[in-house]
Amino acid sequence: KGTKQTPQIVILPAPGMGHLIPLVEFAKQFVHHHDFSIKFTITNDGSPTNAQKEVLDSLPKSIDTIFLSPVNLDDLSKDTNVETRIYLTISRSLSSLRDAFEVLTATAPIAALVVDLFGSDAFDVAKEFNVPSYSFLPSPALLLSLYLHLPKLDEMHSCEYRDLHEPVKLPGCVPLHGRDLMDPIQDRQSKVYTWTLYHSKRFRLADGILLNSFTDMEASAIKALKEGGDSNVPPIYPVGPLIQNGSRTGADVSGCLNWLNNQPIGSVLFVSFGSGGALSWEQLNELALGLEFSKQRFLWVVKTPNTTYLGTQASEEEDPLMFLPDGFLERTKGRGLVVRSWAPQIQVLSHASTGGFLTHCGWNSTLESVVHGVPLIAWPLFAEQKMNAVMMVEDLKVALKPKAEKNGIVRRLEIAKVVKCLMEGDEGKRARKRMRMLKDSAAKALSEEGSSRKSLSEVAHKWNSQEWL
């Protein structure tokens, strides 16, 4: 017999940069420590975007890309929501995924298929080739727990979850009010609810589930998943926090890093709502005035407002700064810096002048602030962000949360109060201290003997020791 061929791992990310990036980080970590070659199979409903190509082209040699044939979604109505589009893109890509498996198995054995939250339909293809299937969740154990328990919740309750009188208690997790559960399950009559329920059942078919979280951050939730006595739950591997290292971002186009260089240590509040989050015009105004009244330093990534408050982008041609209150920029000059649409977030969070982060609690932003030890003001908008916020505020106590009025608007005085409290108050001090401890445990989890590195090695060992390889 010849020498053993390097086994391949096939990764199928859901469409969209937000899904590609966490899997790319996972793949890079994985090949850095373990001897596999990785094949990304990319689904799309058109041709690959430049952003996708840029990320895929920058990968090390052991990571390759296969573009699956584009699928056609023309039959869907315009208002079909994004999750449903994602699920359909994947299910319509299965025959070309099968073709890719055919081609790949002819060159070297495939040790595993890895999909994300939306990809469990692809388990069937892996099964045809006797390849084990894994899910990688770019999310906390809290979200995995909700997915695994959704079929039970669905049976137990007939009303909308937001109308439940008691909080939902997932094993080992912070209790959640029904209205804070992820968006796709907020309307039980919707198509996306049906899809989510269907996929939540399929999670149990995985041979293992990798999580972008770590034991010290979610100790009891992870313990309950691993040892909760539910024999149907696949083995769980927390391998995080995996975040981008930020080296890809080039010049300081917006000038914000240069500006940060000239601010006192720990004095600046970074304000950003992720790649898709936008506020209503009214809320944008309140936020501006709140930041102004707080008298704190701030670096704010301003996006064009959307009036629907659902995070869908308004026309991007308009200059976002146009929507700020009259005279705001002049009055806060020197103390505040406003940049349009995008900032190099990792560099901002790792900058010594940054002392706080007002965030929408997207999971990547959350982990990035943990890794850099920056305490938070939690301002969740959509998807599963409200769940993340509850965990950061009530469970880990590394975040403060401003109170909204009944109509959902957070007023300027409340904003000013919370900003001041985070940057100067006692509660802020306590949150900062706890966030630093969490930062240390994150570093420990990723160190040589750390829990996440060990989980990753365990997975690699399992993949490598399959006798047919």
Nearer to ligand UDP (CB atom), residue 344 or residue 375: 344
The residue from 362, 373, 375, 450 that contacts ligand UDP (CB under 6 A) is 362
The residue from 140, 241, 274, 428 that contacts ligand UDP (CB under 6 A) is 274
Q: Tell me which residues in 17-46 interact with ligand UDP (CB under 6 A).
A: 18
CB of 362 to ligand UDP, least distance (A): 2
Q: Is 440 a catalytic residue?
A: no
* Selected catalytic residue, list 19, 149, 199, 360: 19
Q: What is the DSSP letter of 406?
A: T
Q: What are phi and psi of 39, to 5 degrees?
A: -115, 115
| Nearest-angstrom CA–CA distance, 33 and 452 | 12
Q: Is 19 a catalytic residue?
A: yes
Q: Judged by CB under 6 A, which stretch of 140-148, 223-231, 313-321, 359-367 contacts ligand UDP?
A: 359-367
Tally Cβ neighbours within 10 Å of residue 405.
9
Q: How many helices (H) and strands (E) does the chain have?
A: 17, 13
310 binds ligand UDP (CB under 6 A): no
365 binds ligand UDP (CB under 6 A): yes
Buried b / exposed e over 436-463, threshold 16 CB at 10 Å, is: eebbebbebbbeeebbbbbbbeebbebb
377 and 400 in contact (C-beta within 8 Å)? yes
| Nearest-angstrom CA–CA distance, 439 and 215 | 13
CB of 275 to ligand UDP, least distance (A): 3
The residue from 272, 296, 304, 455 that contacts ligand UDP (CB under 6 A) is 272
Tokens 């002819």 correspond to 106
Going by C-alpha positions, the residue among 195, 197, 379, 343 that lies closest to residue 268 is: 343
Judge residue 115's burial from the number of C-beta atoms within 10 Å of its C-beta, 0-12 exposed, 13-18 middle, 19 or more buried.
buried
305 and 278 in contact (C-beta within 8 Å)? yes
Nearest residue relative to ligand UDP (C-beta): 362
Type of residue at 65: T
The helix/strand/coil state of 135 is strand
368 binds ligand UDP (CB under 6 A): yes
140 binds ligand UDP (CB under 6 A): no
178 binds ligand UDP (CB under 6 A): no
CB of 246 to ligand UDP, least distance (A): 8
Q: Judged by CB under 6 A, which stretch of 177-185, 207-215, 268-276, 350-358 contacts ligand UDP?
A: 268-276
Nearer to ligand UDP (CB atom), residue 93 or residue 364: 364
| Nearest-angstrom CA–CA distance, 19 and 369 | 19
240 binds ligand UDP (CB under 6 A): no
Nearer to ligand UDP (CB atom), residue 300 or residue 463: 300
CB of 349 to ligand UDP, least distance (A): 8
Q: Judged by CB under 6 A, which stretch of 149-157, 188-196, 287-295, 340-348 contacts ligand UDP?
A: 340-348
- In terms of DSSP H, where are the helices of 137-189? 141-156
The residue from 245, 253, 342, 443 that contacts ligand UDP (CB under 6 A) is 342
309 binds ligand UDP (CB under 6 A): no
CB of 341 to ligand UDP, least distance (A): 7
Report the side by side order of strands in the sheet with 236-238.
63-67, 37-42, 8-12, 110-115, 133-137, 208-211, 236-238
343 binds ligand UDP (CB under 6 A): yes
The residue from 215, 364, 451, 452 that contacts ligand UDP (CB under 6 A) is 364
CB of 300 to ligand UDP, least distance (A): 10
284 and 247 in contact (C-beta within 8 Å)? no
CB of 361 to ligand UDP, least distance (A): 8
| Nearest-angstrom CA–CA distance, 177 and 401 | 15
Nearer to ligand UDP (CB atom), residue 277 or residue 290: 277
Going by C-alpha positions, the residue among 290, 315, 313, 309 that lies closest to residue 300 is: 290
Going by C-alpha positions, the residue among 265, 284, 149 that lies closest to residue 203 is: 149
363 binds ligand UDP (CB under 6 A): yes
Beta bridge partners of 298: 269, 336
Going by C-alpha positions, the residue among 15, 458, 10 that lies closest to residue 239 is: 458
The residue from 44, 69, 244, 464 that contacts ligand UDP (CB under 6 A) is 244
Site string for ligand UDP, 276-305 (x = CB under 6 A): xx-----------------------x----
Tally Cβ neighbours within 10 Å of residue 251.
8
CB of 186 to ligand UDP, least distance (A): 17
Nearer to ligand UDP (CB atom), residue 116 or residue 368: 368
| Nearest-angstrom CA–CA distance, 162 and 169 | 14
260 binds ligand UDP (CB under 6 A): no
345 binds ligand UDP (CB under 6 A): yes
* Selected catalytic residue, list 64, 79, 116, 395: 116
Tokens 């959902």 correspond to 408
Active site residues: 19, 116
Interface residue list for ligand UDP (CB under 6 A): 18, 244, 272, 274-277, 301, 342-346, 362-365, 368
